[in-house]
Amino acid sequence: MNAPTQCRLLIVDDEVAQMKALCNTLEMEGYATTGYSSARQALASLREGEVDLLLTDLMMPEMDGISLLKAAREVDGNLAGIVMTGQGTIDTAVRAMQHGALDYILKPFKLSTVLTVLARAREVRQLRLDNAALQERERGYIAELEAANKDLEAFSCSVSHDLRAPLRAITGFCDMYLTDYGQDVPPAGRKLLDRVVDGAARMDRLIEDLLSFCRYSRQPLLKGPVKLDVIARKVVEELQLREAGRAVEWRVGALPECNGDASLLQQVLTNLLSNAFKFTRQRNPAIIETGCSVVDGEAVLFVRDNGAGFDMRYVGKLFGVFQRLHSAKDFEGTGVGLSIVQRIVQRHGGRIWAQSEPDRGATFFFTLPIT
């Protein structure tokens, strides 16, 4: 185990005897001290090597403590400075603190007072260093994030143009072939061509959903008050028009006003309610319910249905991109919708989870900050 690093203390006092006494005393208390009676020599030594704390007399003939402190902080902005002064110059000591000194010590002083002030200054020095390191890491993270966003944008453009071009060629040539020679194609060949066209169409949907996931992941949040109940009823109306003949019992409970991006939160409710609408297709009647409760200052919303449900053993795959827990023959989709929902909820500082049983419906919960 490494021994703790000694705190490096620079002591400046034009009274040589007092300066040496402080150096010797504080050396015995575990500090690595360096003393100067000349403020200019002390400043020169500071430029040559690192110092943690500066303990300086306030009134000196060559350079006063305030000037020394200002010059020292130009060399090292994280330096913790303390001034020593007599009873009659407290106002000047306060002015020194306005220029960056952490504290002052009145002469004549007790060792216990000096040690207490130095310990506090060491803590402030460490906090400054930790904060500087944190800011440096944050700048690095921001640069990495900006680079990742640029890569993602370039990838999205590449996917949109480079991958879709051959898909359009496949479907285009298949349509042309069937138009010109379809009557001569035997049933088995026609079936194979149809599968090619269906596969290309599915690939196009996968690309579109991947682009949507990327877009919702990087789209700037435009936060403001959002009336979720208004959005939910609008989504329900659109779903009712989609399949007007279906027997669906909608139970839209009171939803709160939340703080967030209205367009993104509308996408959350659209995806969740659309999923419930899709997976209750074989129910008569289908029951789809929305509601909310407030727990510890945040809204816990839910979308519940009595549809196909899923096995909770596979819940870990539920929010993965292109992960599906049901056959595409039974329920259409690419498996991106819930990934988008999770990403939007997380960007709003919330979380999402689900509870379900096979053939007994599913409930999706997610949290949002309320206004």
Report pLDDT for 290.
Answer: 92
Indicate which CATH number applies to the domain containing 39.
3.40.50.2300
Same domain? 254 vs 363:
yes
How confident is the prediction along the chain (371 residues), in pLDDT tens digits per residue?
Answer: 444 567 888 999 988 998 998 999 998 988 988 899 888 888 888 877 778 888 888 888 888 888 888 888 888 877 888 888 876 667 777 777 777 787 878 888 788 888 988 888 888 888 888 888 888 888 888 888 777 767 766 666 666 667 777 888 888 888 888 888 878 888 888 888 888 887 787 777 777 767 776 676 667 778 888 899 899 999 998 888 887 778 888 898 888 888 888 888 988 998 899 888 888 888 888 899 999 988 877 889 999 999 888 888 877 777 776 666 555 565 565 567 788 888 889 888 899 998 988 888 889 999 988 76
pTM above 0.85, yes or no: no
Same domain? 258 vs 351:
yes
DSSP string, 183-247: GGS-HHHHHHHHHHHHHHHHHHHHHHHHHHHHHHHHSPP-EEEEEHHHHHHHHHHHHHHHTTTS-
Q: Is the residue at 122 inside a domain?
A: no
* Residue 285 parent element (H or E): none
Q: Is the residue at 60 inside a domain?
A: yes
Q: Is the residue at 212 inside a domain?
A: no
Same domain? 191 vs 242:
no
Determine the residue type at 86. Answer: G
Same domain? 191 vs 255:
no
Q: Is the residue at 128 inside a domain?
A: no
Query: Token pair for residue 221?
Result: 């949040």
Same domain? 285 vs 226:
yes
Same domain? 239 vs 353:
yes
Same domain? 279 vs 170:
no
Determine the residue type at 138. Answer: E
Same domain? 151 vs 54:
no
Domain finish residue from 80, 109, 138 = 109
Quote the Cα angle for 70-76-79, to 5°: 80
Report pLDDT for 3.
Answer: 44
CA-to-CA dists, residue 165 to 134, 168, 200, 204, 213, angstroms: 46, 5, 11, 10, 20
Angle between helices 16-28 and 111-158 (to 10 degrees): 70
Q: Is the residue at 308 inside a domain?
A: yes
Closest C-alpha among 324, 310, 344 to residue 205: 324
- The C-alpha atoms of residue 211 and residue 152 are separated, in whole angstroms, by 10
Same domain? 105 vs 151:
no
Q: Quote the domain boundaries for residue 355.
A: 221-369
Same domain? 66 vs 187:
no
* Residue 256 parent element (H or E): none
Indicate which CATH number applies to the domain containing 256.
3.30.565.10
Q: Is the residue at 137 inside a domain?
A: no
Instruction: Label residue 369 exposed, middle or buried (CB < 10 Å: 0-12, 13-18, 19+).
Output: middle
Same domain? 255 vs 155:
no
pLDDT digits (tens, 9 = 90+) for 105-127: 888 878 888 898 888 888 888 88
- Per the listing, tokens 């449900």 go with 309
Instruction: Spell out the residues 6+ positions from residue 190 whose beta carbon is closer than 8 angstroms to its own.
Output: 178, 182
Q: Is the residue at 24 inside a domain?
A: yes
Task: Give the total number of structural domains in the chain.
Answer: 3
Instruction: Label residue 77 exposed, middle or buried (CB < 10 Å: 0-12, 13-18, 19+).
Output: exposed
Q: Is the residue at 141 inside a domain?
A: no
Pairing of the two strands 80-85 and 103-106: parallel
Q: Is 176 helix (H, G, I), strand (E, B) or coil?
A: helix
Instruction: Label residue 45 exposed, middle or buried (CB < 10 Å: 0-12, 13-18, 19+).
Output: middle
